[in-house]
A and B are shown apart, each in its own frame.
Chain A
């Protein structure tokens, strides 16, 4: 973590913190948050309880100060009282402090990100990422590579890793790559996919209603096919209800694709 920071710090010091952060491996799900959004203190309400030394973290994110310039000021008094300047000792403590602040800045960016992506501009940026398939595609065969969206089960920090939501089967999946499976869900929030599809209703897919049933020599296993029939009944009841409310369901966004012949 800190190694990468040091490296980019020295090799390319003109790079912005946010650009560096977005380019880091494992952070592919994030979009870039506007500078104006971060500097508006109203948007950060309540975050000072979650993030250590928030002012410094903001300065880091907005490139008002550089990580290499940060020095551990907490211990300075003690050190002056105790003994003479021990450069190595001080440097070690500074490094620890920098790591801590870098971590803090990451958390802060993530939490701001969770708020930002449910604003109009943020949704627009996530739309681009969705279109590019940056969050991956649904592994379920019948979803026909429906792009996924990040979502969390909990808005609190450190409670749940990020999950991916498929709008076709309306289910949650774990990220394919392990480097995403430890990403905190709080950086995306619980409301994001719902907000996304409320904003872009044209992106709600036509649900594919094909289902799978285990077979032996072409004959479906009874228990499974019975359950599928019952689920079909539930679906028909829902369609009847939707139609009663005057909602179109045939081959339209949010509706159901007309049934193809079941292949498996």
Chain B
């Protein structure tokens, strides 16, 4: 509000003054607003880019005038000003989410990305990979902004609380995906960091067993296919999650048939377990449900 007022004062006092700052550039330099880029005036003035925004925002016309620094026809009463200011911020955010998907916007965000304005990933194996802002929802007012790491492909909370009032919808769900798809070197940077082995808990140098409660249960989360078998499995996952049986069938060579037999045996064991499981279930009268891979899981 005060920012707008000072802007107004500047206009009235000295129109030619170079200190005059547009609403947009002022908004982007406010504390905690350093994730925003300045949306170009032309983009906002094109009504096509604002399709559908007018319905969700109160005082839409006044808010738009405020963003574009137009003098409102009947001057805005001081009572309405906070409301309009709020609408303007929301409108700017939603326009911003659209703008950063354009070529110009992506380039502007790339500059900010390279300067590390969005921070770096605190995960040790990501080795300070730079982050990208993301919203998990495209509707305003659902969740605040999160950060996406192209290396571990995961989302994180911003490290500073100053970003806690920035809406995620002002960046949108599409932005990081489009960004890494547009700038392939980001993917290359991420891939260069992938080789490192994932961390595992140890006691006096000894790894914990997978069967222990506190043993490694989330290794798959950061795993990449490395061995030929794993790559084969990976290729089987083209359109759906492959079942272990599918992967078994895939192996053609003689050497692998032996492995296949082992696998079949394992499958038999698995089926045994399943059947005993289901027996137990029948006894206990628990709720049973089918998991996507066909095995029966019990929910107590």
- List the interface of chain A (C-beta within 8 A of B): 139-142, 163, 165, 167-174, 176, 190-191, 193-195, 197-198, 201, 204, 207, 211-218, 221, 224, 226-227, 229-238, 240-245, 247, 250-251, 253-256, 258, 263-264
Cα distance, A218 to B295, chains bound together (Å): 30
> Can you sample 20 A-B contacts with CB below 8 Å?
A141-B136, A163-B124, A165-B201, A171-B199, A171-B218, A171-B221, A172-B125, A173-B124, A194-B201, A198-B203, A212-B155, A224-B153, A227-B224, A229-B241, A232-B241, A234-B219, A236-B244, A245-B211, A250-B299, A254-B215
Shortest beta-carbon contacts, A-B, top 10: A197-B214, A214-B177, A254-B213, A234-B220, A229-B237, A194-B201, A172-B124, A170-B218, A230-B237, A139-B156
Tell which of A139, A237, A244 touches B157, judged by Cβ atoms closer than 8 Å. A139
Tell which of A194, A215, A238 touches B214, judged by Cβ atoms closer than 8 Å. A194
Question: What is the CB-to-nearest-CB distance from B97 to chain A, in angstroms, rounded to a whole number?
Answer: 12
Interface class of chain A by DSSP: mixed
B199 touches A212 (CB 8 A): no
Cα distance, A139 to B123, chains bound together (Å): 9
Cα distance, A154 to B137, chains bound together (Å): 41
B295 touches A170 (CB 8 A): no
Question: What is the CB-to-nearest-CB distance from B213 to chain A, in angstroms, rounded to a whole number?
Answer: 4
Contact mask B59-98 → A, CB, 8 Å, 1/0? 0000000000000000000000000000000000000000
Question: What is the CB-to-nearest-CB distance from A130 to chain B, in angstroms, rounded to a whole number?
Answer: 14
B238 lies within 8 A of chain A by Cβ: yes
With a CB–CB cut-off of 8 A, which chain B residues contact A165? 199, 201
* Contact A194:B237 (CB < 8 A) given known A169-B221, A172-B123, A238-B220: no
By beta carbon, the residue of chain B nearest A223 is B187
B181 touches A216 (CB 8 A): yes
A231 touches B221 (CB 8 A): yes
A215 touches B177 (CB 8 A): yes
B214 touches A233 (CB 8 A): no
B54 lies within 8 A of chain A by Cβ: no
B153 touches A213 (CB 8 A): yes
By beta carbon, the residue of chain B nearest A213 is B153
